[in-house]
Structure 1
């Protein structure tokens, strides 16, 4: 994935040149970043995914955090960080909403069809089992002001 731009504009002012298609969450606990290992891509990345019809980006972010990592945060408790414009080798350019959250009491994780594991990553080398999605790590760094 390539990061083309990042815009820190109001949440209710998404970019208009491409559709907003996904939401991701940089969740932190005790100074560590939550990463999920996506089975198909085999890499460590931020929890997130597509925005369902009728769903806001904020609602999608909370749902994806729950579905992928078993961590529940009320949508209203998520902090909006900005919009990322990204490109994948086989996809068109698209926009995603980046949110952040503090997890005070992490819940246990159960692997599922999409995610094989989670890691509370402290930085440095990638957790065992796959490479880091460097765009996600960079975006997560933007949430730690």
Structure 2
């Protein structure tokens, strides 16, 4: 389980903590806490796609809830397209499971993390959830707040040389 007492890898300004990251088998998710979400780091050259969430008012990786009857991989692919209009060049690569302890109730859960590349940037249309997209090189300052947990995970995927 993502352990609430463990020193976190990253903490955001709302008190949410990334407490573990496990590279593992996609078909063998952790069973000690729910796995309700999937996240995607999609890369174009040396830049990762970030979306600006209207509700959380910050830049984050595309992703969201795994719907009933859907695998985390299917959720990642669907959320990427819904939130950003972008599609990977090929199948997404499974990276691992991110363990979180979420504020304010200290709820433990996991998210499956996927990554991929795209050479074709598609036109983005703002929607009810996502106001804008940005291709980020992990170093430049982006106007607005970048979610610390997501930037940590994006950095982690950059190490895979996708």
User: Normalising by structure 2, what TM-score?
Assistant: 0.84
**CA distance in 2 between partners of 1:64 and 1:126 (Å):** 25
Moved over 3 A (4+): none
CA offsets 1:34-87 (integer angstroms, 9 cap, x no match): 00000011000000000000000000000000000011238x700000000112
Q: 2:67 corresponds to which residue? A: 52
**CA distance in 1 between partners of 2:145 and 2:86 (Å):** 23
5+ long unaligned stretches in structure 2: 1-15
5+ long unaligned stretches in structure 1: none
Larger radius of gyration: 2
User: Normalising by structure 1, what TM-score?
Assistant: 0.93
**Would you say the 8 A contact 2:138–2:155 is kept in 1?**
no
CA RMSD of aligned residues (A): 1.4
Deviation (angstroms), 1:141 = 1.2
Q: 1:41 corresponds to which residue? A: 56
**CA distance in 2 between partners of 1:120 and 1:85 (Å):** 25
**Would you say the 8 A contact 1:38–1:45 is kept in 2?**
yes
- Number of aligned residue pairs: 143
